[in-house]
Amino acid sequence: MLFFLGRTKWRCRSLAIAVFVAASVASVNTSAWGAGSPGAGDRPPAVKGQSALLMDAETGQALWSLNANVRRPMASTTKVMTVVLALERGNLDDVVTAPKGIDQIPPSSLYIKPGEKLTLRELVYAAIIRSANDAAALIGRHVAGSTPEFVKMMNERAAELGMKDTQFKNANGLNAQGHYSTAHDLAILTRHALTIPLFNEVCATRVMTLESRKTGDRVVKSRAPFLLHYPGADGVKSGYTRQAGYCYIGSATSGGWRLVSVVLKSSDAGADSKAMMDYGFGQFERRVVARAGTRQAEVEVPGGRPGRLGLIVRDDLHVCVKKGAEPESPEVAVGELQPPIAKGAEVGKLVAKAGGRPFGQASLVAEEEVKKGVCEPLAALLVIAGGPPAFQAFRLLTGGPRPCGAKRRPAAVPAARRASQAR
């Protein structure tokens, strides 16, 4: 049985307190790409895309969405997964030799020639910045040994990340039957990608020179209007095919707060990305609902000494709310606790909520050490050996004897402070 412990008064009703399961380019008028004026984000964003999503990068909280779970072709946003796998499973210093037929891959490409040698690192940058289809294909062949094996790897990784409505058929995003994703799944992928330091560096790069190239285009440049012109933009990936339309995964940071936007099947993905970011930064604010190091609850530890344990949140827990609104109180989620428990050991989660739904969490740790208690047979021995004084001392130290293996009856636990007190 699964349940959460709210931040209101609660009483333990079973041995298991709770179990938490973490289940979640055209020319541009640059003046139009400035930060939105005050009040510019007061209304939901007007987007031309058929699917879109705006998400908090840290917690995965969705701030706005449109058909976010509809499967659509994703064009070159595919290359985010390609590069993630290169960074996770490849050696970026490897020298990759282009095979025969590499020059037959359609543009956008780096126009790599058969026999040409480039490092995996250069291919990664070219795949993201230039959206080079031949570079992405080479990455797949090198990392997995063949394109079919790399596609299998892509789909396995998607399943691991929880991308339930995604299927890959190639490494570059060219049109293929059954090659699709959703705005929601691409946001999940991007949140993971942004946890990789080098991916952040790659996707924020506007221009790069490929040192290995002796001929041809050695300088690769981004053409993404959002990345080039939106204040605070730091990624991620554009895409276009006639079937998919214009697609874009955007990332921008303002005041240390990072948002991710995804738009699919648009006539102007750059403008859509700007509209969503203006909406997010203009209408929402990031709030702390639990400060690192604060006590959030107290729980029973059957068979423990002491019998109750304070729960301390390890890191700040954030939530995004409409400006001026109060955030929802987070919930405590812990499993069955058995002594001994070391001080500082993780014993549960503090779960953030928005619209009644969980989306982010922070670790709860033990406030103090909990040792195993002493059972009644040992108490009897103490009485025999030391008489009533020894027994009284035992009761004071342990809370009284109990049958060996028995659990204390849970008692009411005071609630932690309200979330508003932890801003």
How confident is the model over 38-92, as pLDDT tens digits? 444 468 899 999 999 999 999 999 999 999 999 999 999 999 999 999 999 999 9
pLDDT recorded at residue 360: 86
pLDDT band at 221 (very low <50, low <70, confident <90, very high): very high
- Based on the number of CB atoms within 10 Å of its own CB, is 322 exposed (0-12), middle (13-18) or buried (19 or more)? exposed
The mean pLDDT value for 266-274 works out to: 97
- Which one-letter DSSP state was computed for residue 146? S
Q: Which of 51, 79, 238, 349 is catalytic?
A: 79
- Are the C-beta atoms of 300 and 17 separated by less than 8 Å? yes
Instruction: Identify the H or E element spanning 404.
Output: none
pLDDT-based confidence at 391, cuts 50/70/90?
low
> Which of the following is catalytic: 51, 76, 261, 329?
76
**Domains of the chain from N-terminus onward:** 10-22+291-372+404-422 (2.60.410.10), 34-283 (3.40.710.10)
Tokens of 83: 């590069």
pLDDT of residue 4: 36
| Cα–Cα distance for residue pair 300/296, rounded to 1 Å | 14
User: Per-residue confidence at 106, pLDDT binned at 50, 70, 90?
Assistant: confident
Length of the chain: 423
Beta strands in 112-215 (DSSP E): 117-119, 207-209
Closest CA to 55 of 287, 266, 359: 359
Tell me the average pLDDT across 374-401.
54
Give me the pLDDT at residue 365, please.
96
Tracing tokens 């890191």 back to the chain, one arrives at: 315
Cα→Cα distances 390→140, 304, 305, 307, 393, Å: 72, 20, 18, 20, 5
Q: Which amino acid is at 134?
A: D
Q: How far apart are the first and last CA of the chain?
A: 33
Please identify which of the residues 51, 131, 181, 329 carries the catalytic annotation.
131
What tokens does 336 get? 């069955």
Statement: residue 384 has pLDDT above 70: no
> Would you state the pLDDT for residue 37?
41
Q: Is the pLDDT of residue 377 over 80?
A: no
pLDDT at 395 over 70: no
Q: What tokens were used for 153?
A: 């790897």
Find out whether 373 and 402 touch, Cβ atoms under 8 Å: yes
272-289 pLDDT, tens digit per residue, is: 999 999 999 999 999 999
Write down the pLDDT at residue 78: 98
pLDDT, one tens digit per residue, over 120-176 is 999 999 999 999 999 999 999 999 999 999 999 999 999 999 999 999 999 999 999
User: Given its phi and psi angles, is residue 403 left (phi above 0), alpha (psi -120 to 50 degrees) or beta?
Assistant: beta
Active site residue 65: no
Is the model more confident about 375 or about 200? Answer: 200
Burial of 286 (0-12, 13-18, 19+ CB in 10 A): buried
Query: What is the rounded distance in angstroms from the CA atom of residue 329 to the CA atom of residue 356?
Result: 10
Which of the two residues, 73 and 13, has the higher pLDDT score?
73
Closest by alpha carbon to 187, among 251, 126, 239, 144? 251
Angle between helices 183-193 and 79-89 (to 10 degrees): 30
Active-site residue 24, yes or no? Answer: no
Closest CA to 357 of 33, 65, 49, 31: 65
Please indicate, yes or no, whether the overall pTM of this predicted structure exceeds 0.85. Answer: no
pLDDT digits 0-9 by tens, 319-358:
999 999 999 999 999 988 999 999 999 999 999 988 888 8
Say which residues have a Cβ less than 8 Å from residue 325's Cβ, sequence separation at least 6: none
| Mean pLDDT along residues 359-374 | 91
pLDDT band at 212 (very low <50, low <70, confident <90, very high): confident
In whole numbers, what is the pLDDT of the chain averaged over residues? Answer: 84
Report how far residue 226's alpha carbon sits from residue 220's, in angstroms, rounded to the nearest whole number. Answer: 17
- Catalytic, 323? Answer no
- Would the pLDDT of 392 be above 70? no
